Amino acid sequence: MSYAVKEMFLTLQGEGMQAGRRAVFLRFAGCNLWTGREADRATAVCRFCDTDFVGTDGENGGRFATAEALADAAARLWGDEHGRRFVVVTGGEPMLQLDGAAVDALHATGFEIAVESNGTLPATPGIDWLCISPKAGSAVVQRTGDELKLVWPQEGIDPAALLAWDFAHFLLQPMDCGDADANAAAREAAIALVLGDSRWRLTLQTHKLLGLK
């Protein structure tokens, strides 16, 4: 199969347990929870998305004819640095496109593969680090992984119920509401929840604080 990529770039992982790591971000185009059309936002399951995943017109985006071509492009972005290569595969929803061939090709070029998914599709086997971020109103089928990242607050999600899922880490991330007052309220809500239940850990979008993509 071919792969539609919105953008691909070298940065630091900004969120979760892997925050601070040098990483190639590989953002696949497309999502199964929202078409990306502004007219559809009112009926979307995930209404707070802060990511442009539509099309292939982003930095180093395009359509890659083979898994090997996709992996080679990621390897060129990593360059000659000697540490273990690390790629964060995200979207949109990466499980719409990430298949066994892409996983094998990325591994063959030396990458450790982290994936950020909404969990509505089963995870492709062979992923090294799996982060699931559930969205209210969606049917999550992938309830195991390395970290669960809950954007908070979200109406329609009971955080306590998620703690029964099989994850090594449970992270709470304040929602980016696009408004300073609303963002402050989201941070306060997230902090209060973590202070009330130590099974959760606060995570921030540090790449935004640092001015990174």
| Catalytic residue list contains 82 | no
**107 carries an active-site annotation:** no
Q: Which of 31, 64, 146, 203 is catalytic?
A: 31
Is 116 known to be catalytic?
Answer: yes
Question: Exactly one of 40, 50, 104, 179 is catalytic; which is it?
Answer: 50
Q: Is 111 a catalytic residue?
A: no
Q: Which of 9, 48, 206, 207 is catalytic?
A: 207
- How would DSSP label each residue in 159-211? HHHHTTSEEEEEEEEE---SSHHHHHHHHHHHHHHHHH-TT-EE---HHHHHT
Q: Which of 7, 15, 93, 116 is catalytic?
A: 116
Residue 29 CB neighbour total at 10 angstroms? 25
Identified catalytic residue from 9, 35, 48, 51: 51
Catalytic residue among 15, 25, 53, 170: 25
**Which residue among 7, 15, 28, 46 is the active-site one?**
46
Cis peptide before 153 (omega within 30 of 0): yes
CB contact set of 98 (below 8 Å; sequence gap of 6+) = 28, 89, 115, 124
Which residues, including other chains, have CB under 8 Å from residue 186's CB and lie 6 or more apart?
152, 153, 174, 175, 176, 177
Q: Indicate which residue of 7, 15, 28, 49 is catalytic.
A: 49
51 among known catalytic residues: yes
Concerning whether 50 is annotated as a catalytic residue, the answer is: yes
Indicate if 49 belongs to the active site. yes
Is 207 among the residues known to form the active site?
yes
What is the set of active-site residues? 25, 31, 46, 49-51, 116, 207
